[in-house]
Amino acid sequence: MRAISVKQPWAYLLCAGIKDIENRTWRLPEKMNGERVLIHASGGPLMPIAGHYGHLFDHPQYETLRVKMGLDFFNKELHTSAIIGSVVFTDCVINHPSAWAEKTEVLADESGLPYYGNPIYNWVSSYPILFDKPILNVKGRLSFWNYPNIGCGPDEEGVQTCNCQLAVDERFQVVALGYEYRCRYCGGKWYK
């Protein structure tokens, strides 16, 4: 399954459904629009957010965190070098109204026509999943990359079925949806 590396605490906030925008200097590739993507938390060991990371958030972002997660968030230990969840990027715009969207300055050329100086693309993040057990000790890469141990493929009836190769306890991997079971990591069907 395709993955993208994101620094903490942004990786956690994406998967927890708090941060609804991923900011990049490049446009979301069309073929990745609507595809579920693994979120890999990059970087070295990170201390608790308390004190050290408060400065990362502006006031509207801080308020979102306080209301949605409570201030306990600032005492969390966040995994790095790990695949911690997945999201679906569903749009790519400039100057999205979200508090998490980095804004692009609109300039004017000599004839007064507006243009974007250095565009920051706001990728809209939807349908977030935070894994109960992250996949640890995974090295990140640039751009979109393939993580081969998570994925699904069609069975003989064409149903997308889990092909994950993970050393994870079944009770963390499998989720019951009505009468059927699904893999929390790849989204594929799971046969007991």
- Which residue is associated with the tokens 């007991």? 192
Which residue number has the CB closest to Zn ion?
Answer: 183
CA distance 31 to 97: 24
Least Å distance between CB 84 and Zn ion?
A: 16
Least Å distance between CB 190 and Zn ion?
A: 7
H helices present in the chain, as ranges: 10-15, 59-69, 170-173
Q: Where does residue 67 rank: exposed (0-12), middle (13-18), buried (19+ CB within 10 A)?
A: exposed
Residues of this chain that bind Zn ion (CB under 5 A):
162, 164, 183, 185-186, 188
Residue of 16, 131, 10 whose CA lies nearest to 68: 16
Least Å distance between CB 21 and Zn ion?
A: 27
Tell me the CB-side half-sphere exposure of residue 79, using CA atoms within 13 A: 21
Least Å distance between CB 36 and Zn ion?
A: 11
CA distance 178 to 29: 35
Least Å distance between CB 164 and Zn ion?
A: 3
Angle (nearest 5°) at CA 60 between 52 and 14: 70
